[in-house]
Amino acid sequence: MSSGKRIKVFVTASTIDNSGEEMHQLLQDAKVPSKVILDSAVGFIMEEVDLVIVGAEGVAESGGIINKIGTYQMAVMAKALNKPFYVVAESFKFVRMYPLNQGDLPNDEKYTSVNSSEDSHPYIDYSPPQYITLLFSDIGVLTPSAVSDELIKLYL
Amino acid sequence: MSSPSPKKQDKEEQKQKAVKAGEGKKGQGKEDGGSGGGGEHGAAVKKPTTKAERRALQEAQRKAKEERLAAQGKGTAKQTTSTSGGGAKRSQASKGGEGGAKLEGKPLEVPRPTRQRNSSSSTSVTTDDHRPNKSSKSSKKATEQQVETGRRVKQLQLFSHLQQYSKAPSSPTLPWHSVSTYTSIHPAIIKLGLHYSHGVICGSNSRCVAMLAAFKKVINDYTTPVQKELRRDLDAHIRPFINFLTHCRPLSVSMGNAIKYLKREISKIGPDQSESEAKRLLCATIDEYLELYIVKAGTEISKLCQNIIKDNDVILVYAFSSVVQRVLLDAHCSGRQFRVIVVDSRPKMEGRHMLRTLVQKGVKCSYVLINAVSYIMKEVSKVIVGAHSLLANGYVMSRIGTSQVALVARSFNVPVLVCCETYKFSDRVQTDSIVNNELGDPNDLVQINRRQGNFLTGWKDIPCLGLLNLVYDVTSPDLVSMVITELGVIPCTSVPVVLRISRDETAAV
């Protein structure tokens, strides 16, 4: 916004903790036109948007990201409608993890309550690298395959 | 290079006869097929009759073909793909048409570079240096030789750029080439070459290990000639051995990389080191290479896989891979509960070996042929395969059938894991399985067990039928979920990164 571009933002409500509302509030304060949509309306709204941006809680070695639940379906929808899916994450979030699927995520990160997984809902999900177009980090703009390169440089 | 005139053919025919008669020794009636080798292997009694027989047959055929060629004029003979019989003479003659001369129906200059590209870059250097006259002569007459000596292997146009399969005859004598150079080949290497050619030693790791063991013997038996330095002469000494091995069976990428390493180590030997010291050092580095890049790498890969294989997994494996076998056995020993589905395919049926070893250790296994892989895939949770090599663009070169399995796995959303040591990484880039491959024996495909009878036995006589037995295929990186190496788990696209790192390391050293 500060560079003078006119944008409109759709924010998903993220029903578990309604962090979407918080985001919406921040955007309103910054005078960015924004609108809150239901998580279930992502498919509906996807044809109107030009691109998708998410953050990440962790960036895996495969180039995929671990983020709040709901990110994966957004990524799949974006891929289905050919919209670019961008991730912004600092380089300290890069981890030497290589999940193959949702089941490979560590359990203690996943569930909000201490009880068994049947009662609670998963808190995070994994979006595989084939859905991600680019990763914006402090070490540069990377493709998902370059994440492994950076990690090898850091750790080997 | 267009088809030569009949006149030129005659001249070349004479030259070629001389070439066939012996290493550039014109006019001698010496038979190729290795009288020297025969002596070495003690089958001298058999040799005279077969030699005479073959010679007579050869002469008759040559004359017949000559007349036919002269009549036909243009290179229609080159295009010949029809065959008839051949038998023992064929195998001998086929190796007689050696060097670059395994191709037919293509411009004659092309065979040389493409065949060299097939083998590792080290051997491409060697063929040039060591026998320039013979090789260039034989490559020039690639088509004529084959036509006139009546080599009877039918070729497919699409694959005529590859080194055609030519099997060593089953007798233990040194077969095929013109002799005198090959009397100087170390018996350990000859044994190795025959093992490769007959499929006794099969599999990327085993071939490399066997080759390095043989080279250790060669180094120990080597004595530096007077006025020559070990570190310069040993290289030249080894070159014909590498050529020989390539003729028996094209070098695998693992073998090629090991040879490059060995040559580098040889060149590092100081000029003032004594011969015995140098030999000891070389053998020690070979041992170290084996230990580090093959044995320890296998252990590391197995360790990494322990965390990936979970309880109640259903793991699909394809054919045989020493690394995958290690992974599964270690996982089973550490108490993981999983079951394995072994997928197998003709003609090699290597999966049976995998199945046998797994069942012996008590792993729960199922066995299917590759035709059933789409049926079984819905039960599978992971696919683990080995690799012959990983190419620089992330493609995985592996036993034929692997890309098929990976494709089906992708369609069922099953992750595909490739286990590959870093010494198998190659600088080469290819995107399909045709441009570079190995051709196996087409006769292996003939055996079909059907009640209606074996209708492929006469395939050579059917002009419109060809049998193709490819050995490797190439899997694209988007079908592969992860590659497990001893350096860690990497995505397929990170192969060039690893290559870059290892290159920097060797450069620094």
The highest-level CATH class for domain B310-508 is alpha beta
B509, with CB counted inside 10 A (0-12, 13-18, 19+), is exposed
Residue B487 has its nearest CB partner, among A62, A98, A156, at A156
Q: Considering only CB atoms, which chain B residues are within 8 Å of A101?
A: 415
Which of A94, A100, A107, A153 is most worth mutating to test chain B (most B CB atoms within 10 A of its CB)?
A100
**pLDDT for position B211:** 95
Among B177-186, B271-280, B360-369, which range has the highest average pLDDT? B360-369
Whether the per-residue pLDDT at A149 is higher than 60: the answer is yes
Among B79-93, B172-186, B473-487, which range has the highest average pLDDT? B473-487
Collapsed DSSP state (helix, strand, coil) of residue B361: coil
**pLDDT for position B27:** 38
**pLDDT for position A118:** 58
Collapsed DSSP state (helix, strand, coil) of residue B410: helix
Any A CB within 8 A of B497 CB: yes
Average pLDDT of B392-400? 93
Model confidence at B482, in pLDDT bands (50, 70, 90)?
very high
Residue B490 has its nearest CB partner, among A101, A144, A148, at A148
Average pLDDT of B437-459? 83
Contact of B314 with B342, CB cutoff 8 Å = no
CB contact under 8 A, B493 and A96: no
Model confidence at B73, in pLDDT bands (50, 70, 90)?
low
Q: What is the ipTM of this complex?
A: 0.78
CB contact under 8 A, A98 and B489: yes
HSE of A31, CA atoms in CB hemisphere, 13 A: 5
Whether the per-residue pLDDT at B152 is higher than 60: the answer is no
Looking at CA atoms only, how far is residue A27 from chain B in angstroms?
Answer: 37
Q: Considering only CB atoms, which chain A residues are within 8 Å of B481?
A: 62, 100
Dihedral angle sign, alpha carbons of residues B478, B484, B489, B495: negative
In angstroms, rounded to a whole number, what is the distance separating the alpha carbons of residues B70 and B67? 5
Q: Which of B91-100, B322-331, B392-401 has the least mean pLDDT?
A: B91-100
Among B7-11, B83-87, B366-370, which range has the highest average pLDDT? B366-370
Q: If you write DSSP's letter for every residue of B435-482 in order, what string do you get?
A: SS--B--GGGG-----TT--TTTTGGG-TT-----B-EEEE-GGG--E
Q: Cβ of B131: how many Cβ atoms within 10 Å?
A: 21
Rounded to 5 degrees, φ, ψ at B135 are -65, -45
**pLDDT for position B49:** 60
In angstroms, rounded to a whole number, what is the distance separating the alpha carbons of residues B419 and B489? 9
- Please state whether beta strands B396-399 and B389-390 pair in parallel, antiparallel, or not at all (unpaired): antiparallel
CB contact under 8 A, B382 and A130: no
Q: Considering only CB atoms, which chain A residues are within 8 Å of B478?
A: 130
Model confidence at B89, in pLDDT bands (50, 70, 90)?
very low
Task: Please tell me which residue of chain A has the smallest CA distance to B481.
Answer: A100
Looking at CA atoms only, how far is residue A121 from chain B in angstroms?
Answer: 23
**pLDDT for position B134:** 44
Whether the per-residue pLDDT at B36 is higher than 80: the answer is no
Measuring CA to CA, which residue among B404, B396, B398, B368 is closest to residue B481?
B396
**pLDDT for position A109:** 66
Average pLDDT of B184-212? 90
CB contact under 8 A, A148 and B415: no
Better-predicted residue by pLDDT, B92 or A127: A127
Which of A59, A62, A97, A135 is most worth mutating to test chain B (most B CB atoms within 10 A of its CB)?
A62
**pLDDT for position A67:** 93
In angstroms, rounded to a whole number, what is the distance separating the alpha carbons of residues B338 and B329? 11
Average pLDDT of A79-94? 94
Q: Which residues lie below 8 Å from residue B277, measured CB to CB, with a gap of 6+? A: none
Average pLDDT of B375-392? 94
**pLDDT for position B144:** 36
Q: Does domain B179-297 have CATH number 2.60.40?
A: no
CB contact under 8 A, A100 and B493: no
DSSP H stretches of helix in chain A: 19-29, 42-45, 71-80, 107-110, 144-155
Contact of B327 with B305, CB cutoff 8 Å = yes
Contact of B341 with B314, CB cutoff 8 Å = yes
CB contact under 8 A, B489 and A61: yes
In angstroms, rounded to a whole number, what is the distance separating the alpha carbons of residues B384 and B139? 42
Domain boundaries, chain B: 179-297, 310-508
Any A CB within 8 A of B407 CB: no
Cis ω for the linkage preceding B347 (within 30 of 0): yes
Looking at CA atoms only, how far is residue A84 from chain B in angstroms?
Answer: 19
Measuring CA to CA, which residue among B158, B19, B6 is closest to residue B76?
B6
**pLDDT for position B371:** 94
Q: Considering only CB atoms, which chain B residues are within 8 Å of A152?
A: 487-488, 490, 494, 497-498, 501
CB contact under 8 A, B488 and A156: yes
Whether the per-residue pLDDT at B246 is higher than 80: the answer is yes
Residue A145 has its nearest CB partner, among B308, B493, B498, at B493
Strand ranges, E, within B346-450:
364-369, 382-386, 389-390, 396-399, 416-419
Looking at CA atoms only, how far is residue B415 from chain A in angstroms?
Answer: 7
**pLDDT for position B176:** 52
CB contact under 8 A, B498 and A148: no
CB contact under 8 A, B382 and A100: yes
The rounded percent of chain B whose pLDDT value lies above 70 is 71
Model confidence at B95, in pLDDT bands (50, 70, 90)?
very low
Model confidence at B177, in pLDDT bands (50, 70, 90)?
low
CB contact under 8 A, B491 and A129: yes
Residue B415 has its nearest CB partner, among A101, A149, A152, at A101
Query: What mean pLDDT value characterizes chain B?
Result: 76
Residue B497 has its nearest CB partner, among A96, A130, A148, at A148
Model confidence at B376, in pLDDT bands (50, 70, 90)?
very high
In angstroms, rounded to a whole number, what is the distance separating the alpha carbons of residues B165 and A136? 52
Any A CB within 8 A of B494 CB: yes
Q: Identify the contact set of chain A against chain B, taking CB-CB distances under 8 A.
A: 61-63, 96, 98, 100-101, 129-130, 144-145, 148-149, 152, 155-156
